[in-house]
Every structure is written in structure tokens, then in C-alpha cells.
Structure 1
Amino acid sequence: MTRHVIVGKGAVGTTLAHLLADDGADVLVLSRSGGTSAGRITHAAVDATDVDALTAAVRGADVVYNCAAPPYHRWPTDWPPLWAALLDSAARTGAVLVSVGNLYGYATHGAVMTEDTPLDSTERKGMVRAQMWRDAEARHRAGDLRVTEVRAADYFGPYADSQAMVGPRFLTPLRAGKVVRTVVAVDQPHSWTYLPDLARALVAAGRTPDAWGRAWHVPTAEPLTVRELGERFAVGLPAPRIRPMPAAVVRALGLVSPLLREVAGVSDHFSEPYVMDTAASSRMLGLVATPWDAAVAETLGRTAVGGRA
């Protein structure tokens, strides 16, 4: 039986662990703080930047999933040592490394993104993510390891936490009929990835040798504006009241909030179309996106708004 190791226990790691366990697999979840083991899911405390400790924990695994999520404002400092350790441990153990990626490495200026869109972002978080993939791709081509990256748009779904754009901070006031304040523009088409679709794509990529050595987009439903997304989640309620904060206010708040400062740095993700094409990955991985109605119903039905299921 395939042995699965997940690095990171946030929204993505938790969703993936439950998907694998529900499918009958034994899963080891590694994080700095560990956790409570239950059923087929075992938690262990490991500093994933310590390559020797990580290698020891990973040894014997067939697939390692990178679901780590350093704080937004610490990507330039936290990702390089963590990514180096992940690559080295995969090379030492022979495990396939399947990494959660995102769209930050692209600089699209409104164009639809495909897996072949150049990684030419000049924003610092995007530059970090682009370099991570270049390093991994180079080592794969050299025969040093086996790796693939699965790139998601902003995600939503059960287990989505406070880091998610469409998490409790958005859904709780919306479902209560209150005004939802956003720090981004609300009327441009935007791709949104459903967390279970991301988890399924990670598993499929790890099982598909032809997918290794390149990046793939998560099969994702048709794009919606933030306003349209709010209308979907306000099913059965009066029309939602979604109010974007003025850009000047967001910039001012960024002086005291590292998170908002970084959000302001990628405001173009919402001030212009931010849409990805997922046709190639659907063909390669044999997956289709969950339709919007089902994804919304499952999110509202399985997640206690304001917390985790």
C-alpha cells in the first residue's frame, strides 16, 4: 500500500489527509507542533527545515505532499530553507514530491493563465514561488528527484481557515446578513479553487508518472467575481452587501498589518481578470471540477461558519 506523508496541517493538508484516510490510506502528517492522531491519520512534530529530521520522517514514503503555508509576509525568508529541505529529503529518499503551488509566479496583466504562462512576476511573493519551481524543475531534469507542482487559485471549502479569502472572515458576516468588508476589488472575474478538488488533484498527480516534472492547474469551475461568489454563498438569504475598502485605506492599514501590506502588493489579482485555464490538467489527471452548486452546498453543510468541521 502506498505510504503518504503530508507536510503541513493547515486547510490544504487537513483536507488532503481526510481524503486519503477516507480512501483507506494511512497518512502521516508532519508539522512543527504536531497534533492529535486519530484513525488512519497520524500526526508528528517535525521541523521541516531540518533536512535530517525531515528525511528520517519521510523515509519509506512513496509520496510526500508539500502543503506547508508560511505566513504571507514571511515567504521570502521562510520558503527558501523549507523548500531546500523538502527537495533534499525527496532526493535522499526517492519519494515523489507533490507540491501545492499557486498563481503568484505569473504576471498576466489580465490574460488567461495556463501552465505554459511564463513565471515572470516582479512581485516579491511571486518571485519566491517562481524560483521554487525553477529549482525543483532543474533537479527533476537532472534526475536528482521526482517532483510535480499543483497550482491552485484562491481556495474555499470545508476546513478553509482565516488565511483564506473566502473563509470565516467572509462567510460569517455574509451568512449573518451583515456587510462584508473586503480589501480587494469585487467586480472582476476570478478563479476560485475548491479545496477537495485541490486535494484530489494532488493525489492524482502523485499517482501519474506522466505528470511529474512539470506543473499543473487544479481543475477549477468557471470564474466568478467576488460579488457573484457572495451571491452564491448567500443562497436563501437577502442579496449580500459586499463593500470593498478604498485602496488608500488598505495601504494605510498595511503600515501596521503585515498581512494587509502583502495583500495590497497583489491587488492586481482582483483589479483585473485573474483566471486560469485547467483543460490540460483535466486531461492529464482525469479530473473535473466540482460544480459551483455542489461546492457551495458542501462548504455550507460541512463547515461550521467561523470554525472548522
Structure 2
Amino acid sequence: MTHLVLGAGPIGTTLALRLAERGDHVRLMTRSGSGPEHPAIERVVGDATDSEAVERAARGAETIHHCIHATAYRADVWRRELPAAERVVLRAAEREGVVVTFPESLYGMDAAPQPFTETSARTPGSAKGAVRVDLLAARESAPVRTVSMAASDYFGPWARANAHAGERMIVPILRGRTVRPLGSADQPHSFTYLPDLAEAMIRAAEDDRCRGLMFAPTGPPVTQRELITRYAAAAGVPVPKIRPVPGGALRALGRVHRDTRELAEMLHQWERPFVMDSTHSEAVLGLEPTALSSGVDRTIGWWRTGA
């Protein structure tokens, strides 16, 4: 099979490698032609907003996995960039008659009652969440089959700077420094193992029953303190000091600093429980979440040898 993967961030890279390692051909498109090296991965240069480039890359592909990010973590940038790019990929998919999968967050329902499920009300608690709701609606009204695979904050190999449970947490642990998580270190929070998200996207693309919003296999929630403790144990180092970033200070700074304001807008996800239930999608996909202990061990091993 040939697959088109758009974007080589943590999700796109993980997905491309999993497809390549099982013997499929992957066409990986980024603006710079970057991405992991593998004999089965063909790296091509192209912009996801360029209709001709995307349609050219999609020729002969049997699935499209749209894994791009916006250029900034801001609602106005998301609103300007993401719908346009998704319209391009949906047109290319319609032309080829193929399915499109999208990684998705829980932002669009994070003000709904918990635990979140696939049928939770799309009640966003932020401007960024409102963008996600509109993206979901556009995909679901498209003339091709689409699957939006939602995950909570992810961890695992390739989850670096933009992951709360990635570089922000692991690098201080490995260097014996204080870890500064957002919000509370003691609220239950769902964390999705990145390879489980990638595998769910692959499985859903191959199953005609899968469409609309689904949930990636995600294990029971843990606190940030527990995850930090498990990382330290896997690395064989002492548990570091844990001093959460004060929410009040972050909100105060956000009044004068735009990027901080965008981060502070999402503090509710870390100051209160943030829990998803993926059991329905797991049953449909025939998948189970990787055990936390195994995911943590593999993540630390990657940081030790491959990061």
C-alpha cells in the first residue's frame, strides 16, 4: 500500500515509521522535505495549503493521514491556517476516492462532563477549542470518509518540545532539575501513548466502519506527579523536586504577553481532572492501550538512546 502522510511532527513521524516498518510505502510531505530516514519513506517537499502539491502527492495513495500543525499556538492562527489546509486535503482525497485520518485533541469538548467519550457534547472551554469544533464539523460533512482520532496529551518516543509529558517533563528529570508542570501535579489526567494514537489512525483508515470522531486507546488517568515519579524510576534517577507553575502568575503575565495568554487559556485542563474513556473505540478497533509501565520504559529508553 501507499500512504500519504502530511507533516513530520511527532504524530506524523511515528505514523510514517509504523507504516514503513510493516512494509508499506509512505510518501511524507513537509515544507522542507524533512522527516525520518527509512527505505520505505519517500520524503517530498510541498505545502499542505498548495492544492497542486497535495493532489500530486496524493496520486496513487490509498490513505491520507493529515498530521500538520499550525505555525503558532494561537486561536487566530489556527482559524486562519487550519481550515484552509484541511479543505485542500479533503479535495485531494475526494479526487482520489480515499479516506483521510486526522489526529485530534479533546479541546472541542473539554467543558463537557467527564469522562469524555466519543458522544460527549462539543462544548469547548476556549477559543482554540471552538476552532476544533468547526474543523470536526467540516470533516464530517465532507464527501469522503474521514476519521478524527482524538487523544489526550501524549507521551512516547518523538514527543518532544510541544508535549507536556515530553521534553518539558523528561529533560529536567534526566538532568536532576526541578520539574515545573502546569496547573496541579495531583489532578487525574489522561495521557495517550503516541504509538497507540498512530496505530489507531492506521487501523481506522483500513476499517470502513470507522468514521467521524473516535478515541485513541488511552489507559487509566494518572497525576503528573505519578508520571514524573514513574519516569524517574525508569531512568534510575531520584524523583526530582516538583513545583507547578502558579496559575495566577501565568494568567497575570498573559495579560501583557500573547503567547502566555494562549497557554493560560488552557490551564483548566491541568487544574482540574481531565479524563477520557476510550473503551468504545478500543472495541471497534480491536486495540488496547499500552500499559503505562511499558510506555514509560520505552519513552525513557528512546530519550537515552535515540532522542
Return the alpha-carbon distance in structure 1 between the equivalents of residues 196 and 242 of structure 2.
26
User: Cα gap change, 1:33/1:254 in structure 2, threshold over 3 Å: closer, same or farther?
Assistant: farther
User: Cα gap change, 1:247/1:122 in structure 2, threshold over 3 Å: closer, same or farther?
Assistant: closer
Return the alpha-carbon distance in structure 1 between the equivalents of residues 94 and 47 of structure 2.
18
State the secondary structure of the residue aligned to 1:243: coil
Alignment check: 8 A CA contact 1:183 1:250 kept = no
Return the alpha-carbon distance in structure 1 between the equivalents of residues 10 and 259 of structure 2.
18
Equivalence for 1:66: 66
Q: Deviations over 1:28-49 (max 9, x none)?
A: 1111111265311111111111
User: Cα gap change, 1:51/1:111 in structure 2, threshold over 3 Å: closer, same or farther?
Assistant: same
- The structural deviation recorded for 1:59 is 1.6
Return the alpha-carbon distance in structure 1 between the equivalents of residues 260 and 183 of structure 2.
10
Equivalence for 1:116: 119
Count residues in correspondence: 301
The answer for unaligned runs of 5 or more in structure 1 is none
User: Cα gap change, 1:259/1:198 in structure 2, threshold over 3 Å: closer, same or farther?
Assistant: farther
Return the alpha-carbon distance in structure 1 between the equivalents of residues 147 and 169 of structure 2.
32
Return the alpha-carbon distance in structure 2 between the equivalents of residues 16 and 257 of structure 1.
35
Return the alpha-carbon distance in structure 2 between the equivalents of residues 39 and 276 of structure 1.
37
- The structural deviation recorded for 1:145 is 0.9
Alignment check: 8 A CA contact 1:64 1:97 kept = yes
Alignment check: 8 A CA contact 1:109 1:272 kept = no
Q: Structure 1 counterpart of 2:270, which letter?
A: F
- The structural deviation recorded for 1:202 is 0.7
Alignment check: 8 A CA contact 2:59 2:96 kept = yes
Q: Deviations over 1:5-37 (max 9, x none)?
A: 101000011111111111111111111111265
State the secondary structure of the residue aligned to 1:117: coil
- The structural deviation recorded for 1:239 is 2.8
Return the alpha-carbon distance in structure 1 between the equivalents of residues 110 and 199 of structure 2.
27
Equivalence for 1:29: 28
RMSD between superposed Cα atoms in Å: 1.7
User: Cα gap change, 1:261/1:146 in structure 2, threshold over 3 Å: closer, same or farther?
Assistant: same
Q: More displaced, 266-275 or 231-240?
A: 231-240
- The structural deviation recorded for 1:138 is 1.4
The answer for unaligned runs of 5 or more in structure 2 is none
Equivalence for 1:283: 283
Alignment check: 8 A CA contact 1:110 1:273 kept = no
Equivalence for 1:13: 12
Equivalence for 1:292: 292
User: Cα gap change, 1:10/1:200 in structure 2, threshold over 3 Å: closer, same or farther?
Assistant: same
Equivalence for 1:302: 302
Return the alpha-carbon distance in structure 1 between the equivalents of residues 160 and 255 of structure 2.
24
Q: Structure 1 counterpart of 2:232, which letter?
A: A
Return the alpha-carbon distance in structure 2 between the equivalents of residues 176 and 258 of structure 1.
30
Return the alpha-carbon distance in structure 2 between the equivalents of residues 257 and 41 of structure 1.
40
Alignment of 1:83-102 (within 5 A): 83-102=86-105
State the secondary structure of the residue aligned to 1:150: strand
Equivalence for 1:156: 155
- The structural deviation recorded for 1:255 is 5.2
Q: Deviations over 1:97-154 (max 9, x none)?
A: 0111110000335521000001121411111111111111112xxxx21111100110
Return the alpha-carbon distance in structure 1 between the equivalents of residues 223 and 260 of structure 2.
20
